[in-house]
C-alpha cells in the first residue's frame, strides 16, 4: 500500500526521475502497479491544499491575492488525458500541456506567500474558461475561506469586464495590467482612445489619470509605469485613495511576480510536468501531491532560512561529500 505522504516525500527527495517505476525501485513492498493504483483510485482536491496552508498564511486586510495560470509542458505526450494545445507565457506561444489556474495568498513584498486554491483548465470536461475558474476561486476565498486580504493582483488576461465588476462588487481592490490595444475614455467628448494616444504629462505620470473602460460601470485610475529598460506596464486600479502615486502602484504590481516565483519552483522542484500517466485522475492526483510537496519545501526553507532550491539540493550534500571522501567508483588510471 502507498500513502499520500509517501508519494509526496518521493516528489520532495527525488532529483530528476519522478516516475512510478523509480519510486517502486526505491520503496520496499511497493510495486509499479501499486503506484499506478494509488494515482488512479485516490481523489485529492484543491480543498485539501487549503486545509494544509490555512494555518500558515499571514492574512490581514493588507495582504494580497494573486491570480495567474501556468501550463505544465507535455509537448511530447500524445495520449495523456487533460493535455491540450494552449498558450504558454513561459514559451510565448502555443504548447501542448495541462493548464493550471492558481490563486496565491501573499503577505506582501517582504512577506511569505502560499498557493491556497487552484483549478485545472479542462474545458472539454467541465466547460469552464480560465476566467470562470478565476471568479469561482475568488468567490470561495471570500465566502468560504473568509480571507481578510483586500487586494487582488493579476495580469491582462483576467482584466475583462466581468472580473473587474465582480471584484468591485465584493468591495475589493484590484491592480491589473492592460494590453496595449485596450480602449479607454477620458471624457465623453473625446470618446475612446488607445493607451498610447493619451497625453502623459508629469502630473499624470506621477498620479495616474481617471479613465472609463468599455462595459465597466465605474471609473478606474490608469498608470503608465516605465521600466529602466523602456518596457511599459499599463496598470489600472479601483483603489479610491486620492494620494495614490506611481511608486505605490509599482510596489503593488511587483508583488504579483511572487506567483511567477511559485510557478517556477512548482515545475522545477516537484516534478509537476514529469508524470507520464495517461489517466486524467492520475494526473490530477499527481498535481495535488506536487502542491503538497511545494508547501513542504517552503515550510522547511523557512525553518532553515534557506531558499527552496537550497533545501532541495542539500538532500544530496551528505551523499556527495561521502563519495568524494571515499568514492565507490574511483577515477580510472592507466598503468
Note the pLDDT of residue 169: 96
Cβ atoms of residues 32 and 24 within 8 Å: yes
Average pLDDT, the chain: 94
Note the pLDDT of residue 191: 84
C-alpha dihedral, 311 to 313 to 318 to 321, nearest 10°: -140
Cβ atoms of residues 85 and 151 within 8 Å: no
The grid coordinates listed for 96 are 501542448
Range of weakest confidence among 29-33, 170-174, 261-265? 29-33
The answer, yes or no, to whether residue 89 has pLDDT greater than 80, is no
C-alpha dihedral, 165 to 166 to 171 to 173, nearest 10°: -70
Cβ atoms of residues 97 and 75 within 8 Å: yes
**259 phi and psi angles, rounded to 5 deg:** -70, -30
Residue corresponding to grid cell 498608470: 223
SS (H, E, C) 65-78: EEEEEEEEECCCCC
- What digits encode the pLDDT tens for the residues 266-323? 999 999 999 999 999 999 999 999 999 999 999 999 999 999 999 999 998 888 998 9
Stated pTM of the model: 0.94
Q: Helix-strand-coil percent breakdown of the chain, rounded to 5?
A: 40, 20, 35
Note the pLDDT of residue 187: 85
d(CA 59, CA 80): 38
Residue corresponding to grid cell 508547501: 295
Strands 209-213 and 93-106: unpaired
Cβ atoms of residues 218 and 168 within 8 Å: yes
The answer, yes or no, to whether residue 92 has pLDDT greater than 90, is no
Note the pLDDT of residue 93: 85
Cβ atoms of residues 225 and 247 within 8 Å: no
Note the pLDDT of residue 29: 87
d(CA 316, CA 14): 10
Distance linking the first and last C-alpha atoms of the chain: 52
Residue corresponding to grid cell 480602449: 183
Note the pLDDT of residue 91: 75
Domain ranges of the chain: 42-155+257-295, 156-255
Note the pLDDT of residue 318: 85
Amino acid at each position: 500500500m502507498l500513502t499520500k505522504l509517501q508519494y509526496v516525500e518521493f516528489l520532495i527527495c527525488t532529483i530528476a526521475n519522478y516516475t512510478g517505476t523509480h519510486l517502486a525501485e526505491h520503496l520496499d513492498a511497493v510495486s509499479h502497479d501499486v503506484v499506478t493504483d494509488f494515482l488512479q483510485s485516490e481523489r485529492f482536491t484543491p480543498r485539501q491544499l487549503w486545509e494544509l496552508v490555512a494555518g500558515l498564511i499571514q492574512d490581514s486586510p493588507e495582504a494580497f491575492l494573486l491570480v495567474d495560470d501556468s501550463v505544465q509542458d507535455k509537448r511530447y505526450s500524445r495520449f495523456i488525458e487533460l493535455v491540450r494545445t494552449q498558450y504558454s507565457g513561459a514559451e510565448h506561444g502555443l504548447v501542448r500541456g495541462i493548464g493550471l489556474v492558481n490563486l496565491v495568498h501573499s503577505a506582501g513584498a517582504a512577506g511569505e506567500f502560499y498557493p491556497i486554491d487552484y483549478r485545472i483548465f479542462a474545458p472539454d470536461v467541465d466547460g469552464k474558461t480560465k476566467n470562470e475558474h478565476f471568479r469561482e476561486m475568488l468567490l470561495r476565498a471570500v465566502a468560504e475561506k473568509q480571507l481578510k486580504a483586500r487586494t487582488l493582483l493579476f495580469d491582462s488576461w483576467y482584466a475583462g469586464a466581468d472580473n473587474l465588476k465582480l471584484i468591485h462588487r465584493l468591495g475589493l481592490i484590484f491592480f491589473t495590467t492592460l494590453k496595449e490595444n485596450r480602449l479607454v475614455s477620458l471624457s465623453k467628448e473625446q470618446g475612446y482612445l488607445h493607451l498610447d494616444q493619451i497625453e502623459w504629462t508629469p502630473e499624470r505620470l506621477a498620479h495616474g489619470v481617471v479613465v472609463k473602460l468599455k462595459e465597466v460601470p465605474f471609473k478606474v485610475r490608469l498608470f503608465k509605469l516605465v521600466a529602466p529598460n523602456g518596457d511599459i506596464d499599463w496598470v489600472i486600479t479601483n483603489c479610491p485613495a486620492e494620494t495614490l502615486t506611481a511608486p505605490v502602484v509599482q510596489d503593488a504590481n511587483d508583488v504579483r511576480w511572487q506567483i511567477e516565483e511559485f510557478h517556477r519552483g512548482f515545475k522545477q522542484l516537484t516534478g509537476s510536468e514529469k508524470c507520464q500517466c495517461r489517466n486524467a485522475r492520475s494526473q490530477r492526483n499527481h498535481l495535488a501531491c506536487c502542491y503538497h510537496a511545494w508547501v513542504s519545501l517552503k515550510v522547511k526553507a523557512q525553518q532553515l532560512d534557506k531558499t527552496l532550491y537550497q533545501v532541495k539540493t542539500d538532500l544530496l550534500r551528505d551523499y556527495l561529500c561521502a563519495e568524494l571522501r571515499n568514492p565507490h567508483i574511483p577515477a580510472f588510471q592507466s598503468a
